[in-house]
Amino acid sequence: MRIARFSIDGNVAFGAVEGDKPDELVLDIIKGIPFTDFELSGTKVPLAPLDAKSRVRLLPPVLPNKVVAFGRNYAEHARELGNEVPDAPFAFFKPATSVIGPGDEIQYPSFSQELHHEAELAVVIGRMCREVPRERVKDVIFGYTCANDITARDVQRREKQWARAKGFDTSCPLGPWVETELDPSDLTIQLTVNGGQRQLGRTSEMIHSIEDLIVNITEAMTLLPGDVILTGTPAGVGPLNVGDEVAVTIEGIGTLTNKVIKRG
């Protein structure tokens, strides 16, 4: 099931996405929130394409308390930036204020001159959990969505902590929705800029599996419903410029599209 978060006439709700063709998608509004047992209301609203005028606007599919991101989890990506492949999962954080949704604008930060894209599979947590054993990892996952770990690469190189380089406002696009029924073990991840392909990889190329990542981070902290885990990016990261349109597509999920603008 595809679960979207959206606004309609100023009201925010969750809905199940129905349909296959972009111009025929509808949202069946969910009663309550999707992290517990829920019912579909039967009230349906059309979901028009992002470039069309519509009463409905897709929002970030969740509002995470925290985004836990794992770096250098694809060997070729680690090598392309001259880094060693880590023996153990390597985590950092992106704040909730970095999160934006499909169609939202990525603001090029004034303190950087080298903005990069990083297409990633994102895991959405469905229940509060801590010290999750490997055999129970699937029980705590709500579903999966697309992510773009926007990075101020020049800032990342010169600062030991990555808080500014990866945590600035609008640096974590998520969407377009959460797919709850998906085998994430071998999915195609691709990214385009202005229609030209930049990244192409498969989730099977991860060094540390989703189970590894969730076991690792829950040894240290509690995850809450709606928290997001970023699982790393395949090779091919590169620059973004003001005016660029960047799109992340993950097999079985959909496409997350955002435009880069100058921060006002």
Average pLDDT over residues 153-176: 97
129 and 84 together in one domain = yes
What is the domain count for the chain?
A: 2
54 and 78 together in one domain = no
Q: Residue by residue, what is the 3-state secondary structure of 18-43? A: ECCCHHHCEEEEEECCCCCCCEEEEE
pLDDT tens digits, one per residue of 107-133: 999 999 999 999 999 999 999 999 999
pLDDT tens digits, one per residue of 27-46: 999 999 999 999 999 999 99
**86 touches 212 (CB < 8 A):** no
Final residue belonging to a domain, choices 14, 38, 58? 58
pTM of the model: 0.96
43 and 132 together in one domain = no
Give the per-residue pLDDT at 51: 58
146 and 242 together in one domain = yes
Judged by DSSP in three states, 170 sits in: coil
Residue 194 has pLDDT above 90, yes or no: yes
**In which domain, by residue range, is 46 found?**
2-58
Residue 54 has pLDDT above 80, yes or no: no
Q: Residue by residue, what is the 3-state secondary structure of 53-107? A: CCCEEECCCCCCCCEEEEECCEHHHHHHCCCCCCCCCEEEEECHHHEECCCCEEE
23 and 134 together in one domain = no
What CATH number does residue 98 fall under? 3.90.850.10
168 and 199 together in one domain = yes
